[in-house]
Amino acid sequence: MAEENVKFATRPTGVGEMFQLLRDGQPRTRADLAATTGQARSTIAARVDLLLAAGLVTPTGEAVSTGGRPPATFAFNPGARVVLAVDLGATHVRLAVTDLAGTVLSEHHEPLAIADGPDVVLDRVATIGLTLISDAGRRLADLAGVGVGLPGPVEHSSGRPINPPIMPGWDDADVPGHLGQLLGVPVLVDNDVNIMALGEHATEYPQVDHLLFVKVATGIGAGIISDGQILRGAQGAAGDLGHIAAPGGSDVPCRCGNTGCLEAVASGQAVATRLRAQGFDVATSVDVVALVRGGNLVASQAVREAGREIGGVLAACVSMLNPSMIVIGGVLAEAGEHLLAGIREVVYRRSLPLATQHLRIVASQTKGRAGVLGASAMAADHFLSSEAIDNLIA
């Protein structure tokens, strides 16, 4: 729109907004930005100077000249700051320090019982975090934020767990307050499946706007990306796939108190229980995967049957949400094609052509790292938002 309207403008900076154009990492000249935004060269130049001074943008060389002195190019500098990404499970934790583009600089994985409670667990997280920052050759002053995934429902706005079933002592715990106090930066918290969806989306499929990430492990849950954003619902409980009734109408009791829940018939735990009843020596999802990988036919069939049950519930999700991609992750997805084959079989049979003609159902590409990559993306996105950049520069 026309420059003569500038008299009505009072938006304070617009630096953060312009910065969003640079987040793809492509080198650009001031003239490129002026052409893209339609804004005055002088305005663009002033904004770029602020971003260069803050280190968020670095010179990247010179563009091809069209005559005269070649114009300087510059690009987003993802190494300007680092974030700490934390993926807490029931019995272990995975942490990484990444740059602002999600490149892992240092990482660590260790057993840690969530049942030890928030004080013990979060203190340990902060201690490991400090070590990882140092391992990455950076200082605490470089830390821009912390992203945390928790194995239970979280009120995203406050970062507090809400009645988490497998996290004794954590109900309403002030996770952002505790870690923020120790590390001095903003702390973003979400449930583990949401951050896995975010990690897979940010790393592998940033161009896919409607994606469903399904974790099949001891339990079953889903993270929903809708219009490029995590869909949380009214209480942050959206994506709770595990307690939808499996189509088979089974009466297997579920830990939630109901019967026939998908989790009770098709989780890694459910498959292990079924195989144990058939005389196999399996305790966990990991044991099931080992059996399948060893070529055991009964185990492969049990996993494929679990896939069919999951497919029945996912067919309903496809009709409701119309995603263009379903990513299957979690330990049981590591059993190879058997789980996916069962899922695909039922989803393609039970959904309408309009919803499945462009639908892809794939295995997770980030493997065990989806959680930390998502926690990193969540913290980096917060730090690099237009508003945050405007505040940082102001």
- Rounded CA separation 132/94 (Å): 12
- Rounded CA separation 29/60 (Å): 10
Please, which residue, 85 or 328, has the CB nearer to a copy of itself?
328
Please, which residue, 72 or 355, has the CB nearer to a copy of itself?
355
* DSSP H helices in the chain: 15-22, 30-37, 41-53, 118-135, 175-183, 192-204, 262-266, 268-277, 285-293, 297-321, 337-350, 353-356, 370-383, 386-393
| Contact (Cβ atoms closer than 8 angstroms) between residue 209 and residue 273 | no
**Shortest reach from residue 117's CB to a copy of itself, in Å:** 21
**Shortest reach from residue 189's CB to a copy of itself, in Å:** 17
* DSSP H helices in 152-250: 175-183, 192-204
Please tell me whether residue 57 adopts helix, strand or coil conformation. Answer: strand
Which helix (H) or strand (E) is 163 found in, with range?
none
**Shortest reach from residue 255's CB to a copy of itself, in Å:** 11
**Shortest reach from residue 175's CB to a copy of itself, in Å:** 18
Which helix (H) or strand (E) is 25 found in, with range?
none
What would you measure as the largest C-alpha separation in the chain, in angstroms? 80
Please, which residue, 37 or 203, has the CB nearer to a copy of itself?
37
Please, which residue, 151 or 236, has the CB nearer to a copy of itself?
236
Please, which residue, 126 or 392, has the CB nearer to a copy of itself?
392
**Shortest reach from residue 76's CB to a copy of itself, in Å:** 19
Please, which residue, 17 or 107, has the CB nearer to a copy of itself?
17
What would the DSSP string read from start to end of 269-334? Answer: HHHHHHHHHTT----SHHHHHHHHHTT-HHHHHHHHHHHHHHHHHHHHHHHHH--SEEEEESGGGG
Please, which residue, 28 or 47, has the CB nearer to a copy of itself?
47
The total of other beta-carbon atoms located within 10 Å of residue 163's CB is 10
**Shortest reach from residue 309's CB to a copy of itself, in Å:** 12
**Shortest reach from residue 95's CB to a copy of itself, in Å:** 28
